Chain A
Amino acid sequence: MKILVTVKRVPDPEQKVKFKGTSVDVSAANWVINAFDEYAIEAALRLNENAATGEKLGETIALSIGPKDVSQQLRSALAMGADRAILVGGADEELDSFAVARIVKAVVEREKPDLLLMGKLATDGEASQVPQLCAALLDWPQATFAAQITANAEGLEVKREVDTGIEVKQVKLPAVVSVDLRIISPTAVVNGKTPATHAYQEGPRYASLKGIMAAKKKEIKEISLADLGVKAAPVTKLVSAEPPAGRKAGVKVKDVAELVSKLKNEAKVL
């Protein structure tokens, strides 16, 4: 099937967050692909290949929105195995969830994929809004937080983990699916072509050296918002961002008696 998978760049979560005034300072950020989007790429590649023969079953297109530098993250997606990429030019500060969803919708209308596959959230803002907004704007069925995807004659069966157990959804294509962490476990994606006995290595695949060199020659099509006929026009405004208050140092107690006394009189938990 033809899959459009979204790729957002986020500051490396392992890097320390810096603040400047009332916002997060990303000037020295080390940009990486949002982890859940990397899982979505992996899921798309698994859906679109016969892992036993290497046969390709469909086209995987990576989409990102942002400044030109984002092409680096798109190249990483191409190195993993995506066939081509689309980069819609945009300024990070103008891109709220609603703006992103409208842009994605415009690209979907151009590309007409069978499936829009997305990470369940981006690890920077953790809004978890765009997949649902896209489904609403496109009027497509949605299945969010997918832990397992099985392709079948009617479309996709999506299993999602909820508090009470596993919820099973059947969606017709075209559809919007957002993926959770479990989607990268060895047998989480079933496409009917890869033998049922095949177990993938846990996690998103490594970019092979061959993939890295091939990615250099793959197409990254740049489109402007004007080309798409979309205005970013954000509807939310970031008021301020500040670090949580630092934790105060603890105290050492001499003995159990002092501990009990503190728990009783200061913490008032006893």
Chain B
Amino acid sequence: MLYTDEHSKLRQTVRRFVEQEINPHVDAWEEAELFPAHELFRKMGKLGLLGITKPADCGGQELDYSFAVAFAEELGRCNCGAIPMAIGVQTDMATPALARYGSPALKAEYMTPTVAGELVAAIGVSEPGAGSDVASIKTTARKDGGDYIINGSKMWITNGMQADWICLLVNTGEGKPHENKSLVVVPMNAPGVNRAKKLKKLGMWASDTAQLFFEDVRVPQSNLIGGEGMGFFMQMQQFQEERLFGAATTLLGLDRMIQETITYTRERQAFGQSILDNQTVHFRLAELQTEVESLRALVYLTTERYVANKDDFEVVKLASMCKLKAGRLARVATDACLQFWGGMGYTWDSAVARSMRDMRLLSIGGGADEVMLGIICKLMGTLPRRKKS
């Protein structure tokens, strides 16, 4: 994939924005376990960064997905994983289905202000009893007059404490688990929505993660995205962008970590030479950089296919591979680099320790590694059929 001059200019703007508006505050936000989502998103909305691929009638730029990947890649310059994740939820995880299948009225009410950064969005899929096993969710939406009445709970919801609305996956019927689900827009100030608690996590501190309860929450049926029963399908589609976006944001973070490790180990002396001069160190770092470049190539390849055809089935496999590889590589790379940093790396405030904590989520969120492997196997035709009990 070749980035054009416009891609580079977009990246320049994002780079400066990260350096001036995000990185100086990251330590304070991490400490507070919260970042000012509305303030930051409004600034980004003004620059058009929250609607890169969104339709023009919602204030978006309607550009192809390669621009979203350029944006995601550049967000990797953030000194933490939390902010790119929170932004990604707003632009590529909570909103693709609404942008593609939402009614004009629903888009006007929610998509347009979200693109402008006036509203903060969250995506509600996981539940206490159903994470990667999306089909097993228990939250229900039952019809009552012109409304839905929603009951249930959602878990590990990014932006959950600050969001103005949530794209909620619910069961709207009794049928088969893949055919009874729907995506519904739920305003977070609706009576019966309870933001129960901010969850403490291993990493990604600057991002607020919530457990949410819905008790007889009433929303108009016009808040349904697409058709009833399409929820599982739309969510699976929506996951492709989430996975590609997630993989793209890791690239520069890994590059930077390897570079910083080189700088540190070059200066640090032990046994009469620099740590870097040990072959086990410089070889390992070369190996890791090679893997990062391979991941970058895979992200670009997948993006190219996705830009050419949104519904290309091969993209599902490739996007799953991107996400799997990013998660796996981040675990191996942060561990290897932390080792070379020695005692300095093990201290709580070191950048490499933060990378390790933050990037660990990649193998879990948005479908765990094992789910990615299942999808890849299915598309390779190697997944054993489940026996009917």
Contact = CB atoms under 8 A, between A and B. Distances in A.
A209 B13 CA distance: 8
Secondary structure call for the A interface: helix
Nearest to A212: B9
A72 interface: yes
B47 A206 contact: yes
Nearest to B43: A201
Given A76-B9, A203-B20, A213-B6, A208 B63 contact: no
Interface bracket on A:
10 to 19
B47 A208 contact: yes
Contacts of A46: none
A24 to B, nearest CB: 24
Interface string A199-212: 00001001111101
Interface string B49-64: 1001000000001010
Contact of A206 (B5, B16, B67): B16
A75 B13 CA distance: 13
A209 B17 contact: no
Nearest to A204: B16
A12 to B, nearest CB: 11
A223 B5 CA distance: 22
- Interface centre among B10, B49, B63, by most chain A C-beta atoms within 10 angstroms, is B10
Given A203-B20, A213-B63, A208 B5 contact: no
B20 A216 contact: no
B48 interface: yes
Contacts of A207: 9, 12-13
A79 B9 contact: yes
Contacts of A209: 10, 13, 47-49, 52, 61, 63, 67
A76 B48 CA distance: 16
A208 B48 contact: yes
A210 B6 CA distance: 11
B256 interface: no
A10 to B, nearest CB: 15
B13 A206 contact: yes
Nearest to A71: B5
B46 interface: yes
Contacts of A76: 9, 12
A238 to B, nearest CB: 30
- Interface centre among A72, A206, A215, by most chain B C-beta atoms within 10 angstroms, is A206
A210 to B, nearest CB: 5
13 contacts: A75-B5, A75-B9, A79-B9, A203-B20, A206-B13, A206-B17, A207-B12, A207-B13, A208-B46, A208-B47, A209-B13, A209-B48, A209-B63
Interface of A: 72, 75-76, 79, 203, 206-210, 212-213, 215-216
Given A76-B12, A215-B9, 16 more contacts: A72-B5, A203-B20, A206-B13, A206-B16, A207-B12, A207-B13, A208-B13, A208-B48, A209-B10, A209-B13, A209-B49, A209-B52, A209-B63, A212-B13, A213-B6, A213-B61
Ranked nearest first, the 8 interchain pairs of A and B with the lowest CB-CB distance are A209-B48, A208-B47, A212-B9, A208-B48, A210-B48, A206-B13, A207-B13, A209-B61
